[in-house]
Amino acid sequence: MEEHKHVEVKREEKTDTGLVGATFIKYAAYIIIFFGILWFLISYVFPMFS
């Protein structure tokens, strides 16, 4: 006779907080750089054409 054992495997999903933080910092830096360039254009480049 064969015995069938039922084994449940519980998988836990983990989020790596270090990876999430690094991704947030990366995109925050992109946004800051974008607005910095935009501010530079508005403050210094566009008034030259007026």
* Average pLDDT by stretches of 10, the chain with 50 residues: 75 78 96 97 86
> What are the residue boundaries of the structural domains of the chain, listed by start?
17-49
Token readout for 24 is: 């947030």
User: What pLDDT, on a 0 to 100 scale, did the predictor assign at position 11?
Assistant: 75
Q: For residue 49, what pLDDT is reported? A: 80
Q: How far apart are the first and last CA of the chain?
A: 93
- pLDDT for res 18: 87
**Which pLDDT score is estimated for 47?**
85
Torsion-angle region of 30 (φ positive above 0: left; ψ -120 to 50: alpha; else: beta): alpha
CA 1 vs CA 4, 6, 27: distances in Å: 10, 16, 60
